[in-house]
Structure 1
Amino acid sequence: MTPNIRIALFSAAFVLLSSVQYACAADTLKLMVKGITVPVEVAADNASREKGLMFRKHLPENSGMLFVMDRSDAVCMWMKNTLIPLSVAFIDKDGFIINIEEMKPLTLDIHCSKAKAFYALEMNESWFEKNHVKPGDKISRLPQLRQTN
């Protein structure tokens, strides 16, 4: 194989891997929420969405987990095996918060979006309230993924 072909193959592989950067749970990005930079882990596949923040004992202040759905739909969350008290904001495909729910650790209570959501952002308990974030506020820098609705 010539060096030019090797370089072309390597470049193609790099582009392919780069294009699926949000497919893994280990990915992170920085959202903007009312002027606050919020580092989040991204859960964009079934396995990472199912695990979420389960079994963790700590979530750094002003950090969270962003759940990215396959399509806009009713979204529900629960706290099975989740040790940290959390708040969740359900977010529509355009980045606007639909509703915010408080979630108690280690419960099976279901918390759902009040309209079709494409994202859910979990933060430490009362984070949204403490930072004056409410339904109707817009979240910036959300990943634009395989949206079908």
Structure 2
Amino acid sequence: MNNSKRIFLFAVFAAFLFSCQAGKYKLPVENLEILTSSGASVFVKAEIARKDAERTYGFMNRKNIPDGTGMLFVFETDQILSFWMKNTPHPLSIAYIDSSGVIQAIFDMTPYSLAPVKSPRSVRYALEVPQGWFEKTGVKPGDRILLNRP
């Protein structure tokens, strides 16, 4: 193989890796269990965003977010939360979760939209997953996420 082909293949490979890389921050990952009203357990492998900068960046610029994965946004106090999809190309669904782990609401969000998606009441957490994942797995408002937090 000549040098120009090697350089081209390397460039294609590097672009592929860059497009698939995780987010800007190296976040810890936890396997979260969701107990559904039907009694089933559903698991999601979630990156945990605790700091303001991590929460603000979220899934921005991620082109591929596989089913069964997500991001849990952890806040210090209960509050009305508002999320948008600025610079986020992958369609997402968001669950707003109270401090006891109960899902209060689930909304779908549109890629790149600047429209705020607000929680209907004060909550402590938000979980973003690929759009439609909650519906596919039977997760609904009222279901409980088991959280290892005070």
Q: Same fold, TM exceeding 0.5? A: yes
Q: 1:97 to 1:25 in 2, by over 3 A?
A: farther
- C-alpha separation in 2, matches of 1:131 and 1:68: 23
Q: Is the CA contact 1:38–1:64 (under 8 Å) kept in the aligned structure 2?
A: yes
Q: Is the CA contact 1:65–1:122 (under 8 Å) kept in the aligned structure 2?
A: yes
- After superposition, residues 125-136 of structure 1 pair within 5 angstroms as 125-136=131-142
Q: Is the CA contact 1:25–1:45 (under 8 Å) kept in the aligned structure 2?
A: no
* Letter aligned with residue 109 of structure 1: A
Match of 1:120 among 112, 119, 126: 126
**Cα drift, residue 115 of structure 1:** 1.1
Query: Is 1:76 matched with 2:82?
Result: yes
Unpaired runs of 5+ residues, structure 1, are: 1-23
Secondary structure at the aligned position of 1:82 is classed as coil
Partner of 1:61: 67
**Cα drift, residue 25 of structure 1:** 5.3
Q: Is the CA contact 1:25–1:48 (under 8 Å) kept in the aligned structure 2?
A: no
Partner of 2:33: 32
> What is the alpha-carbon root mean square deviation over aligned residues?
1.3
- C-alpha separation in 2, matches of 1:99 and 1:32: 17
Match of 2:149 among 127, 144, 148: 144
Q: 1:44 to 1:25 in 2, by over 3 A?
A: farther
The runs of 4+ residues in structure 1 deviating greater than 4 Å are none
Secondary structure at the aligned position of 1:130 is classed as helix
**Cα drift, residue 36 of structure 1:** 1.7
Q: TM-score under structure 2 normalisation?
A: 0.77
What is the aligned length? 121
Q: Is the CA contact 1:25–1:42 (under 8 Å) kept in the aligned structure 2?
A: no
**Cα drift, residue 41 of structure 1:** 0.2
Q: 1:95 to 1:138 in 2, by over 3 A?
A: same
Percent identity (aligned): 40
- C-alpha separation in 2, matches of 1:133 and 1:49: 23
Q: Is the CA contact 1:90–1:119 (under 8 Å) kept in the aligned structure 2?
A: yes
Q: Is the CA contact 1:25–1:43 (under 8 Å) kept in the aligned structure 2?
A: no
Partner of 1:15: none
- C-alpha separation in 1, matches of 2:60 and 2:72: 14
**Cα drift, residue 106 of structure 1:** 0.4
